[in-house]
C-alpha cells in the first residue's frame, strides 16, 4: 500500500487498519500496535532472558549513588525523585537494556522508522511525578515520533510507587508554548513543566478520564506513546525500593527539540544534539528527507540557553560534590537549581 502519510507514525496513522491488517505482520506486533493505538500504551514482557541478572547488576552499580536515609527522612514527603540520568554512558547493562535488539525491532515495526534510544533514567524508588506528557520535554518534527519504554526491576504494587497513566490521552492534541500563551525565549529563567500542569489537570477533568495503575512484576515493561499523560502514584512505603529503567526513543529522519523551551515562530528552537545509545552515532536533524542546515541550528538557540554551549558537566559536578552524590544530571541541576543558587561552574 502506498504510504500516504510518511510523516505520521504507523501506529498513530488514520490508515492504521489498512497498515496492520497486513497478514505479514506478526500477531504479537499487531496486538501491541492495537493497544498503543487505542490506549496509548502496551504491556509486554521485556524480551531478554538475562534481564534479571542485568537488573541486579544495575542496582548494585547505582545503589551507592543515593542517600536513601535523607530521602526517607524528608525527600519522600517532599516528592523528591531519585534518579540517575544517562547511566548508559558508563554502565554496560543500562546500555544493553536501552539498545535491546528485540525492542528496537518492535518499535521500528510500530512506527515505520528506525528507533534510536537517546536517554535513560534509572529510578531506585517511585517517582511520585505529577501527571505529564513527555512532549513538552522532548519531541520531534514530524510530531509523535517519540516513545518511552519503562521496565520494572522490582515487583511493584500500590505501596511502592506504581506508574499511573490516562488511557486514550495520547489522542489529544499536542500542546506547546503557543497554546498556553507562553514565550520561553523572553523569560530570564528556564521554564518547567509546572507551566503546563494546570492545563493537564483541567484536561483530565474535562474528559472525565480515570487513571490506570500498573502493578508490574519484575521484567514487565510498558511502552507508551509520546503524548500519553502519565506520572507516578504516591509511594506509601518509603522503606521499600522500586527500581526501574526508562529509555526514551526517537526515530530516524526527524528534528529533535525541547518544545517547552522553544518558540519556533519567534525564531527560537531548543534543538537536542543527541547520540544513539545503541550505535554511538550522532543523531542528525532532518526535515522531509533533508538535513537541517547547521547555520539554522546555531542561529535558533534560545537566548536563555546560550550558556549551555560552554557548560562542562564534569567540572560542574567536581565543583559541587553534593550534586554529584544526588544522581541528578549536571546540566539538569544547573538549569533547575544551580543558576538560582549561584553555584560555581568549575572548582
- Of the pLDDT bands very low, low, confident and very high (cuts 50, 70, 90), residue 190 is confident
- The contacts of residue 26 (CB under 8 Å, 6+ apart) are none
- Of the pLDDT bands very low, low, confident and very high (cuts 50, 70, 90), residue 308 is confident
Per-residue pLDDT, 185? 93
Domain of residue 188 covers 10-59+80-302
Per-residue pLDDT, 209? 98
| pLDDT above 90 as % of the chain | 84
Tell whether 326 is covered by a domain: no
- Tell whether the model's pLDDT for residue 336 goes beyond 60: yes
Tell whether 17 is covered by a domain: yes
Tell whether 318 is covered by a domain: no
- Tell whether the model's pLDDT for residue 75 goes beyond 80: yes
Q: Of 76 and 39, which is predicted with more confidence?
A: 39
- Calpha distance 116→251 (Å, rounded): 6
CATH no. for residue 162?
A: 2.60.120.620
- Calpha distance 330→346 (Å, rounded): 12
Per-residue pLDDT, 13? 97
Q: Cell 500477531: give the residue.
A: 27
Per-residue pLDDT, 1? 57
- Of the pLDDT bands very low, low, confident and very high (cuts 50, 70, 90), residue 240 is very high
| Mean pLDDT calculated for residue range 11-26 | 96
Name the grid cell of 285. 536533524
Q: pLDDT digit string (tens) for 244-263?
A: 999 999 999 999 999 999 99
| Mean pLDDT calculated for residue range 166-179 | 98
Total domain count, the chain:
1
| Mean pLDDT calculated for residue range 318-331 | 83
Q: Of 79 and 343, which is predicted with more confidence?
A: 343
Q: Which helix (H) or strand (E) holds 165?
A: strand 163-165
3 state SS of 180: helix
- Tell whether the model's pLDDT for residue 150 goes beyond 70: yes
Per-residue pLDDT, 306? 80
- Of the pLDDT bands very low, low, confident and very high (cuts 50, 70, 90), residue 325 is confident
Tell whether 336 is covered by a domain: no
Tell whether 157 is covered by a domain: yes
Helices 27-39 and 101-111, packing angle to 10 deg: 60
Tell whether 68 is covered by a domain: no
Tell whether 112 is covered by a domain: yes
- The contacts of residue 17 (CB under 8 Å, 6+ apart) are none
Q: Which helix (H) or strand (E) holds 151?
A: strand 146-152
Report cis status (omega within 30 of 0) of the bond before 142: yes
- Calpha distance 223→234 (Å, rounded): 21
φ, ψ dihedrals at 318, nearest 5°: -65, -35
Q: Which of 178-192, 252-266, 283-297 has the lowest mean pLDDT?
A: 178-192
Tell whether 244 is covered by a domain: yes
Amino acid at each position: 500500500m502506498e504510504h500516504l502519510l510518511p510523516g505520521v507514525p504507523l501506529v498513530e496513522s488514520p490508515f492504521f487498519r489498512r497498515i496492520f491488517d497486513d497478514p505479514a505482520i506478526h500477531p504479537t506486533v499487531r496486538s501491541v500496535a492495537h493497544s498503543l493505538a487505542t490506549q496509548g500504551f502496551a504491556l509486554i514482557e521485556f524480551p531478554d532472558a538475562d534481564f534479571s541478572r542485568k537488573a541486579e547488576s544495575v542496582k548494585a552499580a547505582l545503589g551507592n549513588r543515593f542517600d536513601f536515609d535523607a530521602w526517607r527522612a524528608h525527600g519522600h514527603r517532599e516528592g523528591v525523585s531519585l534518579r540517575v540520568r544517562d547511566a548508559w554512558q558508563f554502565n554496560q547493562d543500562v546500555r544493553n537494556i536501552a539498545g535491546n535488539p528485540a525492542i528496537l525491532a518492535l518499535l521500528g515495526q510500530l512506527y515505520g522508522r528506525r528507533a534510536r534510544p537517546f536517554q535513560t533514567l534509572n529510578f531506585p524508588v517511585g517517582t511520585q511525578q505529577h501527571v505529564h506528557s513527555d512532549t513538552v520535554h522532548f519531541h520531534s518534527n514530524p510530531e509523535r515520533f517519540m516513545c518511552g519504554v519503562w521496565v520494572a526491576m522490582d515487583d511493584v504494587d500500590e505501596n511502592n510507587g506504581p506508574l499511573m497513566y490516562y488511557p486514550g490521552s495520547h489522542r489529544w492534541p499536542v500542546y506547546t508554548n503557543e497554546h498556553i500563551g507562553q514565550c520561553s525565549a523572553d523569560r530570564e529563567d528556564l521554564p518547567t513543566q509546572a507551566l503546563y500542569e494546570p492545563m493537564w489537570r483541567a484536561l483530565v477533568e474535562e474528559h472525565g478520564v480515570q487513571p490506570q495503575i500498573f502493578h508490574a512484576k519484575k521484567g514487565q515493561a510498558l511502552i507508551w506513546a509520546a503524548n500519553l499523560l502519565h506520572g507516578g502514584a504516591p509511594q506509601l512505603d518509603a522503606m521499600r525500593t522500586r527500581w526501574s529503567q526508562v529509555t526514551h526513543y526517537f526515530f530516524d529522519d526527524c528534528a529533535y527539540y525541547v518544545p517547552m523551551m522553544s518558540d519556533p515562530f519567534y525564531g527560537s528552537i531548543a534543538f537536542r544534539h543527541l547520540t544513539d545509545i545503541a550505535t554511538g552515532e550522532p543523531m542528525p536533524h532532518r526535515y522531509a528527507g533533508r538535513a537541517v542546515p547547521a547555520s539554522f541550528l546555531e542561529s535558533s538557540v534560545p537566548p536563555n540557553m546560550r550558556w549551555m554551549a560552554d557548560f562542562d558537566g564534569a567540572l560542574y559536578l567536581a565543583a559541587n560534590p553534593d550534586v554529584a552524590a544526588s544522581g541528578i544530571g549536571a546540566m539538569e541541576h544547573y538549569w533547575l537549581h544551580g543558576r538560582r543558587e549561584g553555584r560555581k561552574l568549575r572548582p
